[in-house]
Copies of this chain bind each other. A is one copy, B any other.
Amino acid sequence: MKVIEGGVTAAQGFEAAGVEASIKYQNRKDMALVYSRKPCVAAGVFTSNIVKAAPVIWDKEVVAHSPYAQAVIANAGIANACTGSQGYECCKQTAKAAAEYLQIPEDAVLVASTGVIGRQIPTDKIMEGVKKLVEQKADTIEAGRIAAEAIMTTDTISKQAAVTFEIGGKSVTLGGMCKGSGMIHPDMCTMLGFLTTDIAISKELLQEALRENVTDTFNMISVDGDTSTNDTLVILANGMAGNPEITSKNEDYEKFMEALNQVNTTLAKMMAGDGEGATALFETKVIHAKTKEDARKLSKSVISSSLSKAAVFGHDANCGRFLCALGYAGVDFDPDRLDVFLESEGRSILVYRDGNVTDYSEEEATQILSAPEVRVLVDVKEGDGEATAWGCDLTYDYVKINADYRS
């Protein structure tokens, strides 16, 4: 497997575009298209929030019932959530327009929105945007980059990743883009994420692969504990790589899972590190927990804790807060056996051992916590469960961004 440049246009047969539609933002691109020249099997995972945005409801139907999908239309600025039947009608109109311009069936079009909740999307602007997107679509790396920029909201960087690998002598490519910075605490999935691949794989296995992988990637990040109404991750596979179609969990499937994990981990970490107001990526790795599920809960509890996040922002080795967050994770373990390390940039110090804080150097701990990527490593010493979660620090800017996001 090789990491390559690009995102949604890296795989064969995929095109993309990003345009200015002035949905809410002015003077920036705010609509994106992802399109495959050939029909794709599609899979998706969506928010577990009871309050689901209209595009989530639309996409779940497409993924479940359409024989194939071929395009995604996404917009930033307005989330089209809490918008009732008018909001759903907007999805339908969007899909209809895209279908006409692209000459594909309406039920092969996925839609996605992100932004303010509770406001209607101006459908006329969406219609103009769809037209421009289709006119400008291209299969270049540059087109993928523009699309990734067009779906940003409070993100400060656009997020793409891609890899190639070989199956049966054929070169297969998987790429993707995502956006997300606030209201990030995915459950089943994440904010908006779009993956494209030219692999040939059955729809059932594609769905299974995606669902299994998000458990260790997008579901292991949190910025603020708020599970969005719009979380959507979809993958389109058009089969153009020409590999023998994957229809069972064979070696080829494992190779695909590795590639999927690489791309999704990269994208998920980019989201966590670009959390609203963040100055650092805050990773927690738990090893030797009783089970993998325990390790997941423990690591996610630490990176989700407001007090732990504030301590990272202050470069303060307040390890009591990490221990406190482990303690309320809902997992049974022996706090008197734990070891806790603080790590960054190849350095590591032991701050807690067997129920007691160690005699570590505060100066060294502060240095370690001042890096742009910091890690808390927890050794539970009880089994072989292992997991990693990613978040960010809690800063003044998080409050600033969210105290008046709508204006």
Contacts and interface: CB of A to CB of B under 8 A. Distances in A.
Interface of A: 48-52, 79, 81-86, 116-119, 182-183, 185, 187, 224-229, 304-307, 310-311, 313-314, 316, 318-321, 323-329, 331-333, 335-336, 352, 354-357, 394-396, 398-400, 402-407
Nearest to A308: B226
A18 to B, nearest CB: 25
A327 B82 CA distance: 11
Contacts of A321: 117, 183, 226
A172 to B, nearest CB: 36
B49 A327 contact: yes
B119 A357 contact: yes
Contacts of A48: 328
Nearest to A324: B229
Contacts of A356: 82-84, 86
Contact of A79 (B228, B314, B320, B333): B320
Contact of A402 (B85, B117, B311): B311
Nearest to A318: B406
Contact of A324 (B51, B85, B318, B324): B51
Nearest to A393: B403
A336 B117 CA distance: 14
A396 B404 CA distance: 13
Given A118-B320, A226-B307, 16 more contacts: A48-B328, A49-B328, A51-B328, A81-B320, A81-B323, A82-B320, A82-B355, A84-B356, A117-B323, A224-B307, A226-B325, A228-B324, A229-B324, A316-B407, A396-B396, A396-B399
A118 B49 contact: no
Given A84-B336, A324-B117, A332-B50, A399 B398 contact: yes
A306 B403 contact: no
Nearest to A327: B51
Contacts of A82: 319-320, 323, 335, 352, 355-357
B84 A316 contact: no
What are the 9 closest A-B residue pairs judged by CB atoms, nearest first? A117-B320, A51-B327, A314-B403, A310-B402, A118-B320, A49-B327, A227-B328, A118-B357, A314-B404
A306 B352 contact: no
Contacts of A326: 50-51
Contacts of A319: 82, 117-118
This chain: copies in complex = 2
Contact of A328 (B84, B116, B226, B325): B226
Nearest to A183: B307
A147 B119 CA distance: 51
A313 B224 contact: no
Nearest to A313: B403
A395 B404 CA distance: 12
Contact of A316 (B226, B320, B332, B403): B403
- Residue from the set A187, A324, A355, A356 with the largest chain B CB neighbour count within 10 Å: A324
B396 A400 contact: yes
A185 B304 CA distance: 14
A328 B400 contact: no
B402 A306 contact: yes
A185 B327 CA distance: 13
Contacts of A406: 316, 318
Contacts of A310: 398-399, 402-403, 405
Contacts of A329: 50
A180 B325 CA distance: 17
Contacts of A316: 403-407
B182 A307 contact: yes
